[in-house]
Amino acid sequence: MAISKEEVIHIAKLADLNLSEDEIEKYTKDMQEILEFANRINNVDTSEMTETIAANEKSNVFRKDEVVKFENREVLLSNAPSQDEGMFRIPKVLN
Amino acid sequence: MQLYEYTVHELIEKLEKGETSSEEITKDYFKRIKEIDPKVKAYISTLEESALEKARKIDEKRKSGETLSKFAGIPIGIKDNMCIEGTKTTCSSKMLENFVAPYNATVIEKLNDEDVVYLGKLNMDEFAMGSSTERSAFFITHNPWDLDRVPGGSSGGSAAAVAADMAPWALGSDTGGSIRQPSSLCGVVGLKPTYGLVSRYGLVAFASSLDQIGPITKDVTDSAMLLNLIAGHDEKDSTSMDLEKKDYTKALVNDVKGMRIGIPKEYVGEGINEEVKNAILEVAKKYEELGAVVEDCSFDVGQYATSVYYIIADAEASSNLGRFDGIRYGYRSEKYDNLKDIYRNSRSEGFGPEVKRRIMVGTYVLSSGYYDAYYKKAQKVRTVIKDAYNKLFEKYDLLLTPTSPTTAFKIGEKTENPLEMYLADICTVPVNIGGLPGMSIPCALDSNGMPIGFQLIAKPFAEENIFRAAYTYEQNTNFRENKPSFKGGNS
């Protein structure tokens, strides 16, 4: 099974990454090798197996849906690349 | 002997006897860092001012007779993917170069309760993706035993700092071997606790079903003490287990009589360096001499663990790293006209090549048409691997393997071929897939003078078995008489 350049370009789009021509070239080769290596798992018979969906037995851990005030709002916002009056500034989305 | 040469339990004794102060210890460490770190480059940032201020405060409190934790005023280094409020947490990525943590990771809250002192943040592979710390976006960390070699990774800064006496102990994180492999390559003790024992809250997520925080220390006693401090349930991490609190130092018993240790033959065979293999067999012999029952066993399915790992870890990473979009925090590209441009350009300029490669593979295996063949299949093989471990642990208290198939390799040796780098983790990755605890303990030097580590693996939440056997080995051998030479570094 070979992965094509077109597929790499499609995956990059899904992952929100721009790749240069060189990167496309390189990642096509790398992904080919990595996926070939990954495909070794097909040698394992898993017909009787269920998937491991978590690393331990815990599931559906619930807590009360309560509002907790985060005291460090200023510091949170100060990490934003662009902000205005306590809001994140982004380019216009709607026309 | 200099203060920076002592283990933490020795420093505690000296503090209790009044032979030294926290300020003295802390100053000594910063002196050492200034002298050594230009060669090793373990620290991304140091916190000298706040550390000394805290140390002085603790000394005053101690003098005035206030009851303090015995760890009060003990310094520690932290891998730069854990949040300390008000300090930079970069993950060694351009993406988070200027990110200031707005809150503390739970492990940091726990350490704050003990009044420890933070020396600084330690270098790593970008977003913990790598096995050599060469993937840091900022600089490469060098192995203190040979500056031309890698310290391992991704917690290479943490392991190198402890090995070079630039921190008495440190925290690392381990997704596929990132605590144990660098500990092995740097000749220190590294523990990956059972998944769910230590809270991941405030640890920048890489692969959430595999990540775990753990101690990197000079000896086994310090490892047990640090695990005592960080283990425990946390409602902010829903995968952390609510178990009765244990005192792991109680497991530090110099006796392995009757302990059953299995050596999976696949990990002392093909693909393992001859010197490493021989060192592991020597360890096995030692355990037999000390009264343990050592047997050969088989863990055939382990050979598929690395394939499983690179599907599951990359899938989870591609999902976790989706949050970096240049809006709320992190790097934002200057080139954009619309929202989509911000996402794409910020991610493309902010992430390094290995991170992008993992996001690409992860996105691929989760994409429509491939999900069943890769992700779902890998999750099933994960079950097969867990079952195989369960069977082995019906028979054995511990498994013994090398931590790394080779000793530290040369800088630049494996950066061109990603797959070759991935194979550096073949001995450690299965443990994360199984969610088990594993520790690397230094045991010998190879013919180049580079450290070799062995790995002890136990069933989930049986860290005591590891501590007991590791402590016994340490008490009956003398690896710590070896010191890093800081040779090389001229090329």
Q: Is the pLDDT of residue A49 over 90?
A: no
What residues form DSSP beta bridges with B401?
A: B455
Residue B232's φ and ψ, nearest 5 degrees, are 140, 155
Q: Residue B105 forms beta bridges with which residues?
A: none
Q: Which residue of A has its CA nearest to B367?
A: A11
CA angle B23, B141, B12 (to 5 degrees): 25
DSSP E strand stretches across B6-74? 43-46
Residue range B3-266+280-298+388-481 forms a domain whose CATH class is: alpha beta
- Report the chain B residue with the minimal C-alpha distance to residue A53: B379
Nearest to A46 among B306, B340, B377 (CB): B377
Find out whether B447 and B383 touch, Cβ atoms under 8 Å. Answer: no
pLDDT at A56: 75
User: Which residue among the candidates B154, B155, B158, B240 is catalytic per the annotation?
Assistant: B154
In this complex, is the C-beta atom of A1 within 8 Å of any C-beta atom belonging to chain B?
no
Cβ-contact B154, B216 below 8 angstroms: no
Closest partner CB to B379 (pick from A37, A51, A72): A51
- Please list the rounded mean pLDDT of every run of 10 residues in chain B (491 residues): 96 97 98 98 98 98 95 98 97 97 97 98 98 98 98 98 98 98 98 98 97 98 98 94 95 98 96 97 98 98 96 98 96 95 97 98 95 95 97 98 98 92 95 98 98 98 98 98 94 61
ipTM for this prediction: 0.94
Q: Is A55 within 8 Å of B209 when comparing Cβ atoms? A: yes
DSSP code string of B209-229: TT-EEEEEESSHHHHHHHHHH
From the list B185, B116, B243, the residue with the least C-alpha distance to B406 is: B185
pLDDT of residue A1: 63
Cis-peptide, bond into residue B154, ω within 30° of zero = yes
User: Rounded to whole angstroms, how far apart are CA atoms B461 and B241?
Assistant: 10
Active site (annotated) includes residue B79: yes
> Is residue A37 less than 8 Å (CB to CB) from chain B?
yes
Strand positions, DSSP E, B208-333: 212-217, 260-264, 293-297
Is pLDDT at A57 greater than 80 in this prediction? no
**Of B391, B203, B409, B201, which Cα lies nearest the Cα of B298?**
B391
Mean pLDDT of chain A: 90
Residue B60's pLDDT is 97
Instruction: Indicate if B367 belongs to the active site.
Output: no
Which residues of A, range 46-65, sit inside 8 Å of B by Cβ? Answer: 46, 49-56, 58, 61, 63
Q: What confidence score (pLDDT) does residue A71 get?
A: 84
Residue B283: φ, ψ to 5°: -60, -45
Q: CB neighbours of A70 closer than 8 A, spacing ≥ 6?
A: A76, B103
Query: How high is the pLDDT of residue A59?
Result: 73
- Residue A52's pLDDT band (cuts 50, 70, 90): confident
B154 annotated active-site: yes
How far apart CA B210 and CA A51 sit, in angstroms, is 15
Per domain, the residue ranges of chain B are 3-266+280-298+388-481
Q: Angle formed by the axes of helices B353-366 and B305-320, to 10°? A: 100
> In the prediction, which pLDDT does A70 show?
86
With beta carbons less than 8 A apart as the criterion, state whether B292 and A35 touch.
no
In chain A, residues with a C-beta closer than 8 Å to the C-beta of B380 are 44, 46, 49-52
H-assigned helices in chain A: 5-14, 21-38, 73-78
Task: List chain B residues with CB under 8 Å of A43.
Answer: 304
- Residue B113 φ/ψ, nearest 5 degrees: -60, -25
Which CATH number does the domain A5-43 belong to among 3.50.50.60, 1.10.20.60, 3.40.50.300, 3.40.50.720?
Answer: 1.10.20.60
Nearest to A58 among B241, B303, B318 (CB): B241
Q: What is the pLDDT of residue A54?
A: 72
Tokens of B264: 């999976």
Name residues whose C-beta falls within 8 Å of residue B57's C-beta, 6 or more positions apart in sequence: none
